[in-house]
Amino acid sequence: MLGIELTPEHDLHRLVDLGVRAEEAGYDAVYSTCHYNNRDPWAFLSQLATATESVRIGPGVANPYETHPVTLASRVATVDELSEGRAVFGLGPGDPSTLANLGLADERGLRSVLEAFKTAQKLWAGERVDHDGTFDASEAGLNYEPPQGADIPIHVGGEGPHMCRMAAKHADGLLYNGSHPKDLEWAREQVDDGLADRPDHRGGFDLIAYAAVSIDEDEDAAREAARPPVAFITAGAAPPVLKRHGIDPDAASEIGERVSAGEFSAAFDLVTPAMVDAFCMAGSPATVRERAAAVADHADGLVVGSPLGPDLESAVDLAAETVDGLF
């Protein structure tokens, strides 16, 4: 599986054009990031649903805190209807830096993610739901059924060991936030542990590297363009991940503080070459293919994530060509 992440920091007309371009370039799925400080991802996905014909589309990833899980389920079902059965539900605990702005950072956790997508599946199947857990619902139901019914694929976004194992046991895929083979090798171990407890009736499962990619014929330009996403990834990385790559946790915390304060330029300036190497496939096509091939030893799929490169339009095509045949 080869997917691409598009970020609604750009004008939605341009973003829809990029999504159409991605379909033409051969990507299997288009995911939209979901952050309150960007344009609305559901507006983008709805427009993209009617502008494309075959590519799967969905959030990458939504969280169950900013929006009630029942409402989230309906939004995904609407995208499924608009796309005539091509929706995928990417769901995770959210970005800690932006959730902190909303007073929601302490809400993040595994149970809320699991309860949200289990409830969504019941709603898509036409059931009415009563729930008393990380959220409340009483006799909640949808007045329509999406084309895929309860079979809309669930892709859990996460990187902690418990989230990885939970996804392997209960979901259809794991969008693992990682670009380095060391991280995907570790993630594969966690997924294999979870798959040991997976019921046979749930079918297949994909470990998908949700990787920051910055590609350009100019290696230096590609690495420079990697700074913004690497800042966000570094700020949200768990201590074991930072340790795995020899990154100072205090430096990561400082980046996170700058991001939460909206001081983005200052945060990006704090990104080091070691951080870029750890958290992004950045460089020329040859460099990116070498890294992607190493990741493919452990992952079943790849999502080419933000920033893509200095020139978005050309990067969409160049990334697809570069990793062709690996996933």
pTM of the model: 0.94
Q: How many residues belong to the chain? A: 327
Q: Has residue 83 been placed in a domain?
A: yes
The answer to whether 276 and 159 have CB atoms below 8 angstroms apart is no
Q: Has residue 110 been placed in a domain?
A: yes
Which DSSP category does 150 fall into? Answer: G
Q: Has residue 275 been placed in a domain?
A: yes
Domain co-membership, 15 together with 58: yes
Q: Has residue 128 been placed in a domain?
A: yes
Domain co-membership, 22 together with 72: yes
Domain co-membership, 101 together with 151: yes
Q: Has residue 327 been placed in a domain?
A: no
C-alpha torsion angle, residues 305, 310, 315, 318 (rounded to 10): -120
Domain co-membership, 14 together with 125: yes
Cα R_g (the chain), whole angstroms = 19
Domain co-membership, 176 together with 239: no
Residue 239 CB coordination number (10 Å): 10
Domain co-membership, 18 together with 77: yes
pLDDT of 159 reads 87
> Tens of pLDDT along the chain (327 residues)?
999 999 999 999 999 999 999 999 999 999 999 999 999 999 999 999 999 999 999 999 999 999 999 999 999 999 999 999 999 999 999 877 678 788 887 788 899 999 999 999 999 999 999 999 999 999 999 999 999 999 999 999 998 999 999 999 999 999 999 999 999 999 999 999 999 999 999 999 999 999 999 999 999 999 999 999 899 889 888 898 999 999 999 999 999 999 888 899 999 999 999 999 999 999 999 999 999 999 999 999 999 998 899 999 999 999 999 999 999
The answer to whether 279 and 233 have CB atoms below 8 angstroms apart is yes
**Domain total in the chain:** 2
Domain co-membership, 216 together with 304: yes
User: Tokens standing for 11?
Assistant: 């004008």
Which DSSP category does 106 fall into? Answer: G
Domain that holds residue 112: 2-224+283-322
pLDDT of 226 reads 96
Q: What is the CATH number of the domain that holds 186?
A: 3.20.20.30
Domain co-membership, 67 together with 158: yes
Q: Has residue 214 been placed in a domain?
A: yes
Q: Give the CB-side neighbour count of residue 303, counting CA atoms within 13 A.
A: 32
Domain co-membership, 253 together with 219: no
Which residues sit opposite 213 in a β-bridge? 281
The answer to whether 175 and 242 have CB atoms below 8 angstroms apart is no
Q: Has residue 78 been placed in a domain?
A: yes
The answer to whether 214 and 317 have CB atoms below 8 angstroms apart is no
Which residues sit opposite 281 in a β-bridge? 213
Q: Distance between CA 109 and CA 131 in Å, rounded?
A: 17
Strand runs labelled E in 159-205:
173-176
Domain co-membership, 16 together with 165: yes
The residue type at 24: E
Helix, strand and coil in the chain, % to nearest 5: 50, 15, 30
Domain co-membership, 235 together with 173: no
Q: Has residue 98 been placed in a domain?
A: yes
Of 223, 235, 236, nearest in space to 284 by CA: 223
**Is the backbone peptide bond immediately before 273 cis, with ω within 30 degrees of 0?**
no
The residue type at 29: A
Domain co-membership, 117 together with 254: no
